[in-house]
C-alpha cells in the first residue's frame, strides 16, 4: 500500500515533464540498437492516454494487494472488485492505442502489397491479417468508453478508501484517517454523478478529464500558467483547487504510510537490539 500511494503521487509526473520541456532532454537507452528513439518524449509512454491509465491501475492494484500481517475484515470482498475496476479501466484505455496501431499496421501492409511479389516481406500476410481482424471485429474508441472509464476509476477510488482507512486507522487516530479520506470519497461520488448525468443526457459537464479520477494536466498547467482545454490561465481556479486537494490527500497518505513504516522499522530494530 505504501508503494501504491507513492505511485499515485507520481501521476502528474509525465505532464510535468512535457509541460516544462524536460522530457525532450531525458535520454532513454536504445533497446534494439536503433537511434529512432533518443529522448523520453519519443517513447510510447509519452503518448496521451498511455502513462496515466497504466500508473493509475498499478497504484490501485497495489492498494488492494494482500500483505503479510494484514487482518482479515468483513469488507475484504471489495478487494477483488477494486482490482477488476482497474483492469477494465486499463483495457478501455488501451483502445485508442490498439486502434492507431492497427491503422499503422494496415498502412504498412498496403505498402508491402504494393511491392513486387518477390520483394514482399514474409510478414506481409501477418500484417494484413492482424490489421484486418482488429479493424473488422475489434472495438473502436467511442465517447461512451470515456464515461465508463470515469465511472470505473471513481468506483475504484471509492473502494480503495476501505483498505486505506483500515491501514491509516491502524497507525493513527481513526477520526483523522476518516477526515483525510473524506475528500477522495466525496469527489468519487461527484464524478459518478457527473458520469451518470452525462449518460442520461441530463448534464452537459465535460467529464472526460477525470478518466483516471485525477486531472493531472490541469494541475500542472495551472502551476505553469498555461491554458487548459482552450481556457485562459486562471479561469479554472475552482477545478484546479479540487485537483490540488485530491493530489495533496494522496501525498499526505503516502507520507503517513512512510512515517508509520519507518517507525515500525525503528521499533523492530530497537527490540532486536535490546
pLDDT tens figures, 255-264: 999 998 898 8
pLDDT at 81 over 70: yes
Q: What confidence category does residue 232 fall into, taking pLDDT thresholds of 50, 70 and 90?
A: very low
Domain that holds residue 92: 2-273
Residues 92-131 pLDDT 10s: 888 888 888 899 989 988 888 888 888 888 888 888 888 8
What is the pLDDT averaged over residues 159-186? 90
C-alpha cell read off for 225: 500558467
> What does the pLDDT read at residue 160?
92
Cβ atoms 211, 149 nearer than 8 A: yes
CA angle, residues 120, 126, 127, in degrees to nearest 5 = 80
> What does the pLDDT read at residue 274?
63
Q: What confidence category does residue 270 fall into, taking pLDDT thresholds of 50, 70 and 90?
A: confident
pLDDT at 175 over 60: yes
Cβ atoms 228, 221 nearer than 8 A: yes
Tell me the whole-structure pTM to 2 decimals: 0.81
> What does the pLDDT read at residue 233?
47
C-alpha cell read off for 151: 465511472
Q: What confidence category does residue 226 fall into, taking pLDDT thresholds of 50, 70 and 90?
A: low
pLDDT at 172 over 90: no
C-alpha cell read off for 28: 532513454
Who wins on pLDDT, 45 or 158? 158
Residues 186-220 pLDDT 10s: 999 999 888 888 887 776 667 788 888 998 888 88
Cβ atoms 148, 192 nearer than 8 A: no
If one counts every other C-beta atom within 10 angstroms of the C-beta of residue 155, the result is 23
- Separation between Cα atoms, residue 195 and residue 187, nearest integer Å: 12
Number of domains in the chain: 1
Cβ atoms 123, 130 nearer than 8 A: no
pLDDT at 166 over 60: yes
Biggest alpha carbon–alpha carbon distance for the chain: 80
- Separation between Cα atoms, residue 25 and residue 190, nearest integer Å: 39
According to the 3-state scheme, what is the secondary structure of the chain? CHHHHHHHHCCCHHHHHHHCCCHHHCECCCCCCCCCCCEHHHCHHHCCCCHHHHHHHHHHHHHCCCCCCCCCCCCCCHHHHHHHHHHHHHHHHCHHHHHHHHHHHHHHHHHHHHCCHHHCCCCHHHHHHHHHHHHHHCCCCCHHHHHHHHHHHHHHHHHHHHHHHHHHHCCCCHHHHHHHHHHHHHHHHHHHHHHHHHHHCCCCCCCHHHCECECHHHHHHHHHCCCECCECCCCCHHHHHHHHHHHHHHHHHHHHHHHHHHHHHHHHHHHHHC
Percentage of the chain lying above the pLDDT 70 cut: 89
Amino acid at each position: 500500500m505504501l508503494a501504491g500511494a507513492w505511485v499515485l503521487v507520481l501521476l502528474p509526473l509525465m505532464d510535468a515533464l512535457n509541460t516544462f520541456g524536460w522530457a525532450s532532454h531525458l535520454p532513454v537507452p536504445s533497446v534494439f540498437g536503433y537511434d529512432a528513439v533518443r529522448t523520453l518524449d519519443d517513447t510510447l509512454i509519452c503518448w496521451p492516454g498511455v502513462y496515466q491509465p497504466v500508473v493509475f491501475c498499478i497504484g490501485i492494484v497495489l492498494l488492494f494487494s494482500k500483505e503479510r500481517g494484514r487482518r482479515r475484515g468483513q469488507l475484504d470482498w471489495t478487494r477483488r472488485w477494486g482490482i477488476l475496476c482497474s483492469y477494465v479501466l486499463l483495457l478501455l484505455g488501451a483502445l485508442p492505442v490498439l486502434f492507431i496501431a492497427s491503422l499503422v499496421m494496415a498502412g504498412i501492409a498496403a505498402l508491402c502489397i504494393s511491392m513486387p511479389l518477390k520483394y514482399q516481406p514474409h510478414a506481409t500476410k501477418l500484417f494484413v491479417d492482424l490489421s484486418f481482424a482488429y479493424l473488422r471485429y475489434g472495438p473502436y474508441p467511442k465517447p461512451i468508453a470515456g464515461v465508463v472509464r470515469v465511472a470505473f476509476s471513481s468506483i475504484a477510488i471509492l473502494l480503495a478508501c476501505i483498505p486505506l482507512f483500515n491501514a491509516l486507522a491502524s497507525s493513527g487516530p481513526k477520526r483523522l484517517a476518516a477526515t483525510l479520506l473524506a475528500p477522495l470519497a466525496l469527489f468519487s461520488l461527484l464524478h459518478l454523478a457527473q458520469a451518470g448525468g452525462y449518460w442520461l443526457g441530463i448534464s452537459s459537464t465535460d467529464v472526460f478529464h477525470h478518466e483516471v479520477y485525477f486531472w493531472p494536466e490541469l494541475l500542472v498547467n495551472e502551476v505553469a500558467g498555461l491554458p487548459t482545454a482552450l481556457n485562459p490561465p486562471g479561469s479554472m481556479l475552482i477545478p484546479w483547487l479540487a485537483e490540488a486537494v485530491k493530489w495533496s490527500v494522496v501525498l499526505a497518505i503516502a507520507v503517513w504510510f512512510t512515517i508509520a513504516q519507518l517507525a515500525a522499522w525503528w521499533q523492530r530494530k530497537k527490540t532486536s537490539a535490546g
